[in-house]
Chain A
Amino acid sequence: MGLLTDLRNSISRAQAKLFADGDSEPKRIGIYGPPNAGKTTLANRIARDWTGDAVGPESHVPHETRRARRKEGVEIERDGKKVTIDIVDTPGVATKVDYEEFLDHDMEKEEAVRRSREATEGVAEAMHWLREDVDGVIYVLDATEDPFTQVNTMLIGIIESRDLPVLIFANKIDLDDANIKRIRDAYPQHETVPLSALEGDNMDEVYSKIAEYFA
């Protein structure tokens, strides 16, 4: 454990990269993060840029994505590197879901209860995908929000414990109060890439990192 664990993790990641080159099976890359971080906006941006299709509807209402959605065979080519991935857009992970929070978004109680029920199923589904079915993770954070939350801490810990390669995306850098350094400082052990999925800012670097990291 400890240093030995770190060493083992580094070796296994390096091996995964080395032996992946000849592997034609697309990697399943899960887009994870808390609700409203911009996961679906990012998934749609990537899918539209490389396939022309979207993945799912975007919304400012939390838990808009309540089922994991997979976009298969997204081929990304950058700097001479080409990678084919399946993008898995997952519901935002939380430890609580209260139907009353949906009432603030002009919903009737019945609709809010239904939505909260679907949201809880979606979070459970996202956790299951993380344990069983993804080969790598893009962890999306809202750069205007404090990244030091327990959900983020737990999820990054779970991802690390499974030795999954992870890129951290600091989203919403088009907003004035975005703070990229705060995210870098929170997770110094991982690469942080700033972007605005909504405006398409810094997508060149995003694609370069995806091609480099998940090849």
Chain B
Amino acid sequence: MPETTDPTPDGVQLDLISGERMDGLTSMEKIRAILDSVREGNIVILEAGLTPDEESKLIEVTMSEINPDGFSGIEIESYPTSGGSEQGLIGRLMGKDDDDGQKLTVIGPANQIETLHKDETIISALVSRQ
């Protein structure tokens, strides 16, 4: 999707997308941009994540695009973990909770991500080539 370096046949492209870039898109444009990139075999990293409603639609659209000959779906992980119970009082008062989508999110093609793990401080992805 974005104008990053040309992907080499043996490489895996990472698209790090700023919150500012996503802010200018509608929900469906965001989902389309993510899935178009992931279906090309890229790993998408969103600086600001998606809202719960957008995540719901992402799952729904992903399901509609799965086909046995190629695309088997996505892997997705977000940081920080949801629940919001560990956020500081100031942050909550300022509205910096998950509803604002302020969560680093990694999305990739399910058939290329062999392991995608997260704990409190790290998201680890082991990505194989297409």
Binding site for B on A (CB under 8 A): 1-6, 93-99, 113, 116-117, 120-121, 123-124, 127-128, 130-131, 148, 150, 153-154, 156-158, 160-162, 186-189
Nearest chain A CB to B52's CB is how many angstroms away? 4
Q: Chain B residues near A120 (CB, 8 Å)?
A: 63-64, 66
Contact across chains for B98 and A157 when beta carbons are under 8 A apart: yes
Please state if A153 and B72 are interface contacts (CB–CB under 8 Å). no
* B87: min CB distance to chain A, Å: 8
B residues whose Cβ falls under 8 Å from a Cβ of A: 51-53, 55-57, 59-60, 62-64, 66, 68, 72-78, 81-85, 89, 91-100, 110-111, 118
Q: Which of B57, B82, B97, B100 contacts A153 (CB 8 A)?
A: B82
Checking B66, B82, B92, B96 against A156 with a beta-carbon cut-off of 8 angstroms, the contacting residue is B82
When the two chains form their complex, are residues B78 and A150 in contact, meaning their CB atoms are under 8 A apart?
A: yes
Chain A residue at minimal CB-CB distance from B61: A124
Chain A, residue nearest B87 (CB):
A2
Whether A97 contacts B56 by the Cβ 8 Å rule is: no
Question: Do residues A154 and B110 form an inter-chain contact, with CB atoms below 8 A?
Answer: no
Determine the chain B residues whose CB is within 8 A of the CB of A2 once the complex forms.
Answer: 91-97
Please give me the residue from chain B that is nearest to A188 by CB atom: B85
* From A95, A153, A156, A158, contact of B73 by CB (8 A): A95
Set of chain B residues within 8 Å of A123, measured between Cβ atoms: 59-60, 63
User: CA–CA, A121 to B59, complex, Å?
Assistant: 11
Chain B's nearest CB lies how many Å from the CB of A127?
5
